[in-house]
Structure 1
Amino acid sequence: MRRTLILSFIVVLTICLTYGLVRYIGPHGFLFAWSLNLMLMMCVYGFTETLKSPLSSAYYDEKKWELRGQRYELLGIHFFRKLLVWIGWEKMNKKDNPVEKSTKALLHLHYRTKQSELGHIIILFIVLGFTVFVAFAFGIVESLWLLFLNFVLNLYPIFLQRYNRPRLERAIVLSRHREGREKK
């Protein structure tokens, strides 16, 4: 019951904050697109942290068409990873979630990739809705910042999580195998 109330509060707060952005900044331009994405990231982070779903859907499994990450490599995922290192995101992220060699730590990191992907998917669709609205109401040019930032701040992070998760799964298998040998 308490969790449902918190989740409902987060949804209502997100709607109110979004309304405030539309009212006081206007639903177009870089400032609105940037503010909307950052505000949604904070709200969705709170939502997914409160939800604590096991995220066991088959959606999160690697798909055949992904070709073990080759599709994402063609889309420039390595450049995006370098960009994250360059702006300091990786360093900040490692400080909050240090990578350890234990299976437990790898499983936690695996779960976090699913949680992050879910959050970015939610934001992607919300911002996409705003992009379509702004394109029809104010013209395509006015919606370009929303579209561009949606790609950079949401679509590519989804690609990154989908690219990293199968590698983590292989590391988990190896870690379990190594821990099984050490117990003998």
Structure 2
Amino acid sequence: MLVGFLFFQAFKYVRMPSKFYEKKKYETEKYFKFLGVHIFRLILINSFFRHLNSRVYLKGRPKEYLLTFIEETKQSETSHIISGIFPLLIQLLYLKYGLLEHFIWLTIFNTLLNLYPFLLQRMNRFNMIKKHPQILKKN
């Protein structure tokens, strides 16, 4: 968790190409539901994790904050991708050297701490854009 925070701060202004943040055809409500992102979201908002980042809650915020929210999802997405690459490389080494148990545990942690948060940020951003399409017209 601390590593994720440090990556977020270190790569706060690093961006992937803009095409990366666009919704792909397969990224539908069914896609996210099939992957269990909705369940992950429920677990996240009903745990202590919800207190760690108050910027993601929109209740009581002015509509102007929506654009900031969109940018924050992109920042978070980028930091989760970057911080997920290092464990992925270690996972491959574990597989190469037959350390299957280590591979499985690191896969679980990398999935829960990087892949699902990444997917959740994408889902949230796409839902927000769908709900408030005028957000993108301001850019």
Bigger relative CO (Cα 8 Å, ≥ 6 apart): 2
1:43 aligns to what?
Answer: 6
Query: Which ranges of structure 2 fall in alignment gaps of 5 or more residues?
Result: none
Tell me how large the CA RMSD over aligned residues is. 2.3
Quote the Cα distance in structure 2 between the aligned partners of 1:54 and 1:131.
Answer: 25
Q: How many angstroms apart in 2 are the aligned matches of 1:145 and 1:127?
A: 11
Q: Which has the larger radius of gyration?
A: 1
- Tell me the percent identity: 27
In 1, the alpha carbon distance for the partners of 2:52 and 2:4 equals 16
* Distance change >3 Å, CA 114–CA 142, structure 1 → 2: same
Q: Distance in 1 between matches of 2:52 and 2:5?
A: 16
CA-to-aligned-CA distance 1:142-168 (integer Å, 9 cap, x gap): 221111001111111111111111111
- Give how far 1:124 is off: 1.4
Residue 53 of structure 1, CA deviation: 4.6
Give yes or no for contact 1:127–1:150 (8 Å, CA) kept in 2. Answer: yes
The offset of 1:56, in angstroms, is: 5.9
Q: Secondary structure of 1:65's partner? A: coil
More helix by percentage: 1
Please tell me the residue identity of whatever aligns with 2:39.
F
Between the aligned partners of 1:110 and 1:55, the Cα distance in structure 2 is: 15
**TM-score normalized by the length of structure 1:** 0.64
Conservation of the 8 A alpha-carbon contact between 1:55 and 1:115: no
Q: Is the 8 A contact 1:123 1:154 kept in 2?
A: yes
- The one-letter amino acid paired with 2:19 is A
Distance, in Å, in 2 between the alignment partners of 1:172 and 1:161 is 16
* Aligned pairs for 1:19-168 within 5 A: 38-49=1-12, 52-53=13-14, 57-67=18-28, 69-94=29-54, 96-99=55-58, 100-102=61-63, 104-137=64-97, 139-168=99-128
Q: Which letter does structure 1 place at the counterpart of 2:4?
A: M
Describe the superposition over 1:107-146 as per-residue Cα deviations: whole angstroms up to 9, x where unpaired.
0000011110111111111110011112323511122111
Structure 1's unaligned 5+ residue stretches are: 1-37, 178-184
Q: TM-score, normalized by length of structure 2?
A: 0.83
Instruction: Give distance in 1, aligned partners of 2:107 and 2:74.
Output: 23
Residues 175 and 46 of structure 1: is their aligned pair in 2 closer, same or farther, counting only changes over 3 Å? closer
Secondary structure (helix, strand or coil) at the match of 1:101 reads coil
TM-superposed deviation, 1:65 = 1.2
Runs of 4+ in structure 1 deviating by more than 6 angstroms, as ranges, are none
